[in-house]
Amino acid sequence: MNTKRPTPIRGPARPTASSETVRANMKKQKRKDTKCELAVRRQLHRSGVRFRVDFRPLPDQLFRVDVGWKGRKVAVFIDGCFWHGCPEHGSLPKSNSNWWAAKLDGNRARDRRADSALRTAGWTVLRFWEHENPESVAKVIVATLRSGQPTKSASPSQTY
């Protein structure tokens, strides 16, 4: 999967100006309905699997899953290499790298909080990178659904 990367800005630029430019470049990085996600959805369709896209799995949480099954409590995230800091393609823009490091760290921290909130609520969480092969991703998803134990009506692991 070829990923557009922000063009590094050369030379010392004033932080605000360059950060605006970088931010503009970032807007080209799609957050939703990435090519990979669409390809995975096509594969799932082919496997005869029906699913929901882009929904909030937990009523008290704002985050959304990319693809998932509420009844079976399976959540799939297909993380953009840039936004989620993929080890292979997640390089920081050269200008304002501190700002970006903080921003992307924040994204990763939010991912981990979402994972743990879901797991606490009894969900199975599957995370993939957008650079992964959509067919393999779909296979893992389908295998997880097939092996999936029927949803238990309650799995209270909270200790309030």
Minimum CB–partner distance for residue 131 and Zn ion (Å): 4
Minimum CB–partner distance for residue 82 and Zn ion (Å): 8
* 130 within 8 A of 81, measured Cβ to Cβ: yes
The two three-digit tokens of residue 150, written as one number: 């029927």
User: 32 CB contacts (<8 Å, ≥6 apart)?
Assistant: 54, 66
Element (H, E) at 109: helix 97-120
CA distance 99 to 15: 10
Q: Beta partners for 65?
A: 55
Nearer residue to Zn ion within complex by CB, 23 or 131:
131
Nearer residue to Zn ion within complex by CB, 52 or 112:
112
Minimum CB–partner distance for residue 87 and Zn ion (Å): 8
Nearer residue to Zn ion within complex by CB, 89 or 119:
89
Nearer residue to Zn ion within complex by CB, 81 or 114:
81
Minimum CB–partner distance for residue 30 and Zn ion (Å): 14
CA distance 14 to 101: 18
Minimum CB–partner distance for residue 91 and Zn ion (Å): 10
Nearer residue to Zn ion within complex by CB, 49 or 104:
104
- Which residues of this protein are in contact with Zn ion, per CB under 5 A? 81, 86, 88-89, 129, 131
What is the signed CA dihedral for 79, 127, 115, 27, rounded to 10 degrees? 10
